[in-house]
Amino acid sequence: MSSPSEIADPTTLYQVRDGVYAPDLLIAAVVNLDLFTWIERQGPVTEAQISAGLEVATRPLDVLLTYGAALGLIERQPSGVISLTDLARQQLVADSPLSLHAYYASLAERPAVGELTDVLRTDRPAAWASARTGGSGAGWSQRLDDVEFARGITAAMDARGVFLGPALAAAVSDLPATSILDVGGSSGIYACSLLAGRPAARGTVVERPPVDVAARLLLAERGWDSRVDVRSGDIFTDPLPQGHDLHLYSQVLHDWDEPRVRHLLGASYAALPPGGWMVDHDAHIDADKRGPLANAEYSVLLMHSTVGKCWSIGELALFAADAGFENVSYRRTVAHRGALVAQKPLT
């Protein structure tokens, strides 16, 4: 492995992969919703008015407005009022003399445009990677039951962690953790990264079958199985194990809706000792929900194929505080990722 100073920055490659569905959402918004013409006719509107007027579900609308704001098309006021920028007014409103409406319409038959339009309307995720597996087993979470699919996804998660893991470890190196619980830890690559700088510490990966099997295999192959064990279980139906002073959620919360995110933070709060740490490593949206563009794009992929999205730093800070955590801070890492850190009170 090259030393960090020798690694060419792969941020663009993460952004291209993670943002793969984003242009299709813009096409869906311009053509199938005619969002920009509708807002222009209404004048400044609230999200609730757009949701009711265009029959779009709250979660995908939030993702769309964040993406529109990051592209410089939507003004998103702190009050929640939404209006168009000059760029959107001139180029994306149907009857503007400069309108690109027809240009975008020429690509509206792309399959992903139809899938994203369905998600906007129903809030139900589409098939992972738009695969034609058919039936109700097509969702990302259900497909993880399949051993081959689970192995492929675990390899994917592991591959991105080679670059992201050390950066996360550096960002939280000041936290005096002795035992790390990597919740939904996949191959355990982030637990290993955090443990590399803490020679006396140990770790546990919590994973559901059959990913747990893939995780054990990879940890053993890398010689980490003496310091990191894998606990098989369901993070939503089983309590999280006690005895760990740092709980890591790496790119896990973005797969889930608000009730389940709140459930997980509550479960961590219950299992952590006083003074313990919760770390959420992810591609977060800024608190004002106007960027960064790369994460607004990634949020479209998550909206397409899961019940989640890229959560904003503000939303997560609120959920963490509601769960009882304090001392919430944010540390940026690499490839548009960062770590939201929160602490269970000492008393």
Q: Indicate the residue among 9 and 238 with the shorter CB distance to ligand SAM.
A: 238
Restricting to residues 251-310, name those near ligand SAM by CB under 6 A: 251-252, 255
Question: Which of 146/288 has CB closer to ligand SAM?
Answer: 146
Site mask for ligand SAM (CB under 6 A), range 195-234, x = bound: -----------xxx--x----------------------x
Residue 185 in the binding site for ligand SAM (CB under 6 A): yes
Verify binding: residue 184, ligand SAM, rule CB under 6 A: yes
Q: Please, which residue, 28 or 341, has the CB nearer to ligand SAM?
A: 341
SS3 assignment for 37-97: HHHHHHCCEEHHHHHHHHCCCHHHHHHHHHHHHHCCCEEECCCCEEEECHHHHHHCCCCCC
Burial track 79-98 (b if 16+ CB lie within 10 A, e otherwise): eeebbbbeebbebbbbebee
User: Catalytic one among 101, 244, 247, 254?
Assistant: 254
Q: Tokens for 70?
A: 């990051």
Biggest CA–CA distance in the chain, Å, is 67
Q: Are 278 and 341 in contact, with CB atoms under 8 Å apart?
A: yes
39 binds ligand SAM (CB under 6 A): no
**Interface with ligand SAM includes 338 (CB under 6 A)?**
no
Smallest distance from the beta carbon of 62 to ligand SAM, in angstroms?
A: 20
226: amino acid identity, one letter: S
Positive/negative CA dihedral, 324, 328, 331, 332: positive
3-class DSSP assignment, residue 308: coil
Asked if 19 touches ligand SAM (CB under 6 A), the answer is: no
Active site residue 263: no
Q: Which residues contact ligand SAM (rule: CB under 6 A)?
A: 144, 157, 161, 184-186, 190, 206-208, 211, 234-236, 250-252, 255
Catalytic residues: 254
